[in-house]
Amino acid sequence: MKINERFDWTITSFASHEEAENDDILERLAMTGEERLRLTESLRAIYYGYAENGIEPRLERTLEVLPFP
């Protein structure tokens, strides 16, 4: 996976996990719905493996739930 160079990143340190989680929540709430959707789509593309070439699979992957034996 190729990582684009970005110069607008900042590094922040936190004293606790709760403080870091609160900062993350505030950052997400500051985003517009479109920005959050774009971020979700990019994570989905990485997860399903088509982020590298940009070509989505033609058929949607489905999960079949079978009864417990």
| Residue 31: C-alpha distances to residues 37, 46, 67, 68 (Å) | 10, 21, 41, 42
Rounded to the nearest 5 degrees, what angle is found at the Cα of 30, between the Cα atoms of 45 and 1? 25
Does residue 32 lie within any of the structural domains? yes
Does residue 41 lie within any of the structural domains? yes
List of residues 6+ apart from 50 with CB closer than 8 A:
56, 57
Does residue 25 lie within any of the structural domains? yes
**Residue of 5 and 30 predicted with greater confidence:** 30
Domain total of the chain: 1
Does residue 60 lie within any of the structural domains? no
Q: Token pair of 30, please?
A: 């500051």
Give kind and range of the element (H or E) at residue 20: helix 17-30
Which residues span the domain enclosing 34? 17-48
Give 8-63 pLDDT, tens digit per residue. 778 889 999 999 999 999 999 999 999 999 988 888 888 877 767 767 666 666 77
Global pTM exceeds 0.75: no
Does residue 66 lie within any of the structural domains? no
> What pLDDT is attached to residue 64?
79
Three-class DSSP category at 63: coil
Does residue 22 lie within any of the structural domains? yes
Does residue 29 lie within any of the structural domains? yes
Does residue 42 lie within any of the structural domains? yes
